[in-house]
C-alpha cells in the first residue's frame, strides 16, 4: 500500500514553463484525498516550492536544500534541519576561495561573504570547471553532488547528515510510513541517495546519466507529464 509519494521539483514536477500541469495537480489531489502524503524534494529554498502551493494546495512536506532543511507545510514550520558545521564551512571557504560561491540559509541565498554574519548555512553551491574539483572535499565530513545547469557545473555541498534520502526518512518517521510504502520520482544527481535506497523509485526520461546507471524504472520526461504518468498507476 502506497502511503507517500516524493517527487523532485526542477526537471521533474514542473515543465519548461516552470508550471505544474493542471491534470497533474488533479492527480495529486486524488491521491491526497485517499490519505497519501505528497512531498517535494529540491536543491532550492523551500519558499520557491511553497509559492506554488498558494492557489492550488498540493503539498504536505518540502525536503529542501538537498535534505538540509525540511518544512512541514501543514503545520507551517520546520520539521528538521542540519546546518554545515563552522569547521567544515571554514575549510570549504579556504579550498575554494577563488571560486564563485553561494551560501544558503533556510530562506535566503547569499553570494557575498560579508553578508553571512552568524547565519546558519544549510547548503553551499560552488561553480566549478571540472568534475574532478569535487575531489577536494574527500577529507571533509560533508555530502556533495554536481548539478548541471545552463552549461555550468555547480558543486552542491551539505552537512554529512543531509541528503534527499535522509530527508525522506525523516518525513517517513514523522508520518509512520515505511520505505517500502514510498514512491520516489527523481531526475537530478542530488536524488541519487533516494533512488538508491527507495526500491519504488522512478526516474525521468530526462534524468542525469548517474541515475540511469542504477535503475531501469524510467517514466517520460517532465515535458511529457512523467510524474503524472506514475501517479495514475496508484489506485
Would you list the domain boundaries of the chain? 4-81+162-231, 86-159
How much is the pTM?
0.95
In the block, which residue shows the cell 496508484? 234
Whether the predicted pLDDT of 187 surpasses 90: yes
Across 118-138, average pLDDT: 95
For 4, how many CA atoms within 13 A lie in the half-sphere containing its CB?
A: 26
Whether the predicted pLDDT of 160 surpasses 90: yes
In the block, which residue shows the cell 516524493? 6
Of the pLDDT bands very low, low, confident and very high (cuts 50, 70, 90), residue 124 is very high
123 DSSP β-pair partners: 104, 158
Of the pLDDT bands very low, low, confident and very high (cuts 50, 70, 90), residue 151 is confident
Are the C-beta atoms of 115 and 104 separated by less than 8 Å? Answer: no
For residue 70, report the phi and psi dihedrals to the nearest 5 degrees.
Answer: -115, 130
Whether the predicted pLDDT of 177 surpasses 90: yes
For residue 34, report the phi and psi dihedrals to the nearest 5 degrees.
Answer: -90, 0
Of the pLDDT bands very low, low, confident and very high (cuts 50, 70, 90), residue 13 is very high
- Within the chain, residue ranges assigned H as helices are 22-33, 46-50, 86-95, 164-175, 192-197, 209-212, 226-231
pLDDT score for 144: 94
Q: Does domain 4-81+162-231 have CATH number 3.40.50.1000?
A: yes
Whether the predicted pLDDT of 126 surpasses 90: yes
Whether the predicted pLDDT of 133 surpasses 90: yes
| Strand, helix or coil for residue 102 | strand
Integer Cα distance of 8 and 14 in angstroms: 9
Whether the predicted pLDDT of 229 surpasses 90: yes
Of the pLDDT bands very low, low, confident and very high (cuts 50, 70, 90), residue 148 is confident
138: exposed, middle or buried (Cβ count in 10 Å: 0-12, 13-18, 19+): exposed
Of the pLDDT bands very low, low, confident and very high (cuts 50, 70, 90), residue 233 is very high
Across 140-155, average pLDDT: 90
Whether the predicted pLDDT of 179 surpasses 90: yes
Q: How far is CA 48 from CA 37, 117, 133, 144, 220, in A?
A: 20, 23, 29, 22, 24
Could you report the per-residue pLDDT of 28-82, keeping only the tens digit for each?
999 999 999 999 999 999 999 999 998 889 999 999 999 999 999 999 999 999 9
Amino acid at each position: 500500500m502506497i502511503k507517500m509519494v516524493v517527487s523532485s521539483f526542477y526537471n521533474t514536477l514542473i515543465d519548461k514553463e516552470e508550471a505544474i500541469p493542471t491534470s497533474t495537480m488533479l492527480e495529486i489531489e486524488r491521491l491526497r484525498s485517499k490519505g497519501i502524503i505528497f512531498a517535494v524534494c529540491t536543491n532550492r529554498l523551500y519558499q520557491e516550492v511553497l509559492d506554488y502551493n498558494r492557489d492550488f494546495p498540493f503539498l504536505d512536506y518540502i525536503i529542501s536544500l538537498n535534505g538540509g532543511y525540511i518544512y512541514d507545510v501543514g503545520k507551517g514550520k520546520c520539521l528538521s534541519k542540519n546546518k554545515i558545521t563552522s569547521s567544515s564551512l571554514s575549510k570549504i571557504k579556504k579550498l575554494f576561495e577563488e571560486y564563485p560561491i553561494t551560501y544558503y540559509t533556510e530562506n535566503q541565498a547569499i553570494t557575498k561573504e560579508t553578508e553571512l554574519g552568524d547565519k546558519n548555512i544549510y547548503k553551499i553551491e560552488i561553480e566549478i570547471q571540472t568534475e574532478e574539483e569535487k575531489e577536494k572535499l574527500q577529507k571533509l565530513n560533508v555530502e556533495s553532488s554536481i548539478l548541471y545547469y545552463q552549461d555550468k557545473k555547480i558543486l552542491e555541498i551539505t552537512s554529512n547528515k543531509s541528503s534527499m534520502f535522509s530527508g525522506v526518512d525523516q518525513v517517513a518517521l514523522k508520518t509512520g510510513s515505511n520505505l517500502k510504502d514510498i514512491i520516489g520520482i527523481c531526475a537530478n544527481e542530488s536524488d541519487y541517495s533516494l533512488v538508491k535506497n527507495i526500491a519504488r523509485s522512478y526516474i525521468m526520461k530526462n534524468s542525469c546519466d548517474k541515475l540511469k546507471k542504477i535503475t531501469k524504472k524510467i517514466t517520460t520526461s517532465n515535458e511529457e507529464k512523467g510524474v503524472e504518468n506514475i501517479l495514475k498507476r496508484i489506485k
